[in-house]
Amino acid sequence: MSGVAILLLIAFAQTGPGQTASDSRNPVEALAEARTAVERAPLDFGPAVALARALTALGRADDALAAFARVRQLEPDVSDRVAVGAAEEIASAYLVPALLLRDLDRTGEAISLLEEGATRRLGNADVYEQLALLRLADGLTDQALAALNTAAAENLESPGLDLARGLALARDPVRRGEALDYLQGALDDGVGDPIVIRLETADILSAGGRYAEAIEHLRAAEKLASAEPEVFYRLGRTLAAAGDREAAQAALERHRSLQGALERAAEVEQAASADLAAALSEAQSLAEAGELEAALERLAGLPGRWGDSRAGDVHSLRAKVLFSMARVDEAAASAAEARRLEPNRVEHHYLEGMFLHTGGRAEDAAVALERALALDPGLGEAQALLGMIAAETGRPAEAAERMGRALEHGLDNNAPLRFNYARVLEILGRSEEAAVQMEAFERLRAEAPP
């Protein structure tokens, strides 16, 4: 089986990491709410699931994997599952991280996790479906069929399980013919990728000498994927076996043409990416040298739209340059654009908050900084700036709490923070603590280079 076919096989999965929660809210806001819920009830299963899903939706794979590991630790006992009403959530604690691992090319770990989920007898067909598909992608046909047989023994049924069985049987040289009914059923039910199903069906039919039927499926695949080289390769091979050499030659020529076009496009994209990286580096160097106008001009011609490579970096650097030029409102707008393009980048949210605060928009700045903290609860800089905003708006108690957290999160050598913290503590009547902070401020100021 070709590399393309293997990739397409893996793509059969109908449940993807980003599809696990039907949440229409802003994903960063959902993450902030989930973190708050976990802080309030750290041992509760539901908030832990919500946090793991929010991290998944933002593409924070490593954090999501760790969060789902915590979910599995909090998994209710079997006897409590009906009362808790968490059957789907329990299954997702195995299924979603397995799919994340799959996407990270950590297939062995994904299989092991799904095997662990299967031993829990969760009553979830998706767990067995994905286990079978991943085993197939790893060349483990017998083990894939074993997973499907276990699902059948547990009386689990789904179109996805039938499709997985069809794909597994298609790789069993003795039982290939049995796969046809399952694959046709998937086509009839609209399950899975019809292109791949037709390719698999055509291979089986062709191996049995049923070339006319195989070619019919391949022509249907051609209509669905007229730019996919693999389709034309298989069509050409099957036409040749059927004796239609002229049509086979045309199909194979089309395959070579499409493959060449893909390779050239990849080369162009690689060159463009290298050019963009060089341009960003040049603009950064100009900005560091104080040549702000030149830096801004260099950034002006760079792509910064959705889908462009490193578009977020373009807007982020532009925001920093504009801020250095005292064009604060424009800087905040550019930082906001970077944040919209890459909502999972903490820096974009923090920069937007910092620029908004400088521009006198304290309320909007606080919203941006809270988003930054949702993504990175240990971001001391965001806590410090939120503390400043609280102090400026007459909330000294909150300011003291925020500034104290900032010190705990790595800003203990920040002299201005120590000074501002001391002032807030003095306002609150906590003179002894204020004195400690002023002492630390004086020490840091004395240690600072001249």
In a domain, 397, yes or no: no
Query: What's this model's pTM, rounded to 2 decimal places?
Result: 0.77
Residue of 389, 393, 384 lying closest to 421 (CA atoms): 384
Domain that holds residue 17: 3-192
Left (φ > 0), alpha (ψ -120 to 50) or beta: where does 123 sit?
left
pLDDT tens digit sequence for 304-359: 666 666 889 999 999 999 999 999 999 999 999 999 999 989 999 999 999 999 99
In a domain, 238, yes or no: no
Q: Mean pLDDT over all residues of the chain?
A: 89
pLDDT tens digit sequence for 339-354: 999 998 999 999 999 9
Please tell me the predicted confidence (pLDDT) of residue 104.
Answer: 92
Helices (H), 178-307: 179-189, 194-207, 211-224, 229-241, 245-288, 292-300
The Cα–Cα gap between 265 and 95 comes to 35
Contact predicate 198/188, CB 8 Å:
no
The Cα–Cα gap between 65 and 68 comes to 5
In a domain, 28, yes or no: yes
pLDDT tens digit sequence for 110-146: 999 999 999 988 888 999 999 999 999 999 999 999 9
In a domain, 25, yes or no: yes
Q: How many domains does the chain have?
A: 1
Cα 286 from chain centre: 33
In a domain, 94, yes or no: yes
In a domain, 276, yes or no: no
Contact predicate 144/136, CB 8 Å:
yes
In a domain, 139, yes or no: yes
pLDDT tens digit sequence for 215-261: 999 999 999 999 999 999 999 999 999 999 999 999 999 999 999 99
The Cα–Cα gap between 151 and 114 comes to 13
8 pLDDT more than 50: no
Angle at 307 between CA 259 and CA 301, to 5 degrees: 105
pLDDT tens digit sequence for 20-45: 444 456 888 889 999 999 999 999 98
CA R_g for the chain: 29
In a domain, 82, yes or no: yes
The Cα–Cα gap between 93 and 67 comes to 9
User: Which CATH number covers residue 71?
Assistant: 1.25.40.10
